[in-house]
Structure 1
Amino acid sequence: MDELPKPYVISNVGMSLDGKLATVENDSRISGENDLKRVHQIRKDVDGIMVGIGTILKDDPRLTVHKIDAKMEDNPIRIVVDSNLRIPLNARVLNKDAKTIIATTLKDTPDKIAKINKLKEMGNVDVVRTGTEKVNLKELMEILYKKGIKKILLEGGGTLNWGMFKENLVDEVSVYVAPKIFGGMGAPTYVDGEGFKTVDECVKLELKKYYPLDDGIVLEFKVKNTR
């Protein structure tokens, strides 16, 4: 049986040479101005930007286009995967600069129901529900596609990246590698989660393009999806 259609997913990350997204003190100054413009151009070209709740709680990003010439209508839909609905009601990703979709589970509590109602009252926020203990990412992709979201920029963090790779939902990987070594067992990495047990199980990539940018290098891969 043919798989249901899903959005084309680009996973983008900026990391140190040893695969860290920030130092142990959460200093994430990795890329330069030209790479930031590259990332915001991708944001402008997609229909949605997707992150996990950990990114929202740690960085409180706006997830809009603001490093290049852009209008408010160029902002893609912001998608937050939040199984336990921990998003603060004053999070910047809920502002009126763009529409926001919060993806959470079907599991209910009185507090969760009340929070869902408050989110919906904001007007520009939609709540999507799938899965029981955790958001079902495959079902979420199908729902987003039906909503007209055909291309997504996946911006992490490590737990969501793992889930998306594990479910074969990523189509392309774009990586900026900075000539820096951060170290630190507790420093955040590109992909976390439980990890694959063998090389045979892992996600395979095909290098399509590479070029220098700022003081680092950009690597662009196609995900082979051969697992």
Structure 2
Amino acid sequence: MMKPFLISLPLIFFSCLYKQKEKSVNKETSVSEVSSKADNTKNLIPLSKISCNQESTETTNYSLNCKNFTISNTLIDGSDQNRYELITFVFDDIEKAIIRKINNEDLETSSPIVYFSNTSKNYIIFFPVNGENHFGWKLYLYKNKVLYPIGQRVMYWKPDYEESNINYSDILTVFETEDKILVEIPNKYIIKNDNDYKNYPNYLDGKYYEKKDKSYYEFPTSKIEYYKKYKNGLFEGDYNKMINNKIIDLIK
């Protein structure tokens, strides 16, 4: 069972190179978690949740009919003996896809929750992570006809909620600023700082803040790539862009 890992940077290095670090984050590692006493929750714009009709109720496959597009997924056993998940978005004018290499991957997700920004006109696609006592998400931004993976997170239910049928969309609020996406969660549901389980840096993206009884997880959107590759050999991102730029070969 995976638990989040708190990545720390040496104090001297952090103080000297903070600005440079903000501008150039290694794509193969996660952003360091930072707790802050400053109020980073001002001037947030809440995103609207889009209604989508679930056309398939299978455990591993889903098909959603949303306003302006559809979303469906397929699990693929490739000819290279690897396993992949292909998540397809069909718009009126373009078809896009997310590809994930899922070998030895225990961050399985279920059908996404879709949010829309009335300000930027972008979509945020929130993929809930499945788990018995852990939960979390993979977060994507659809902007200018490109799908960007902007962060993933794993946390843990408090014991009172481990076996409850809580709907993610009922307890979460997603906000945006000019260059960030924030996910808000009531503190009562989660264990925020669990130090018993470590060494999983790939699953702890974003910065963490608290305000009153809420936790906020912040993900920058100003300088993002259309794909991520991790040290454990997994990857995910915009399938079309990855193929066109020869990041990966066509999955067969």
Q: Same fold, TM exceeding 0.5?
A: no
Normalising by the smaller structure, the TM-score range is under 0.3
TM-score (norm 2): 0.26
Report which structure shows greater RCO (CA 8 Å, sep ≥6).
1
TM-score (norm 1): 0.28
Which is helix-richer, 1 or 2?
Answer: 1
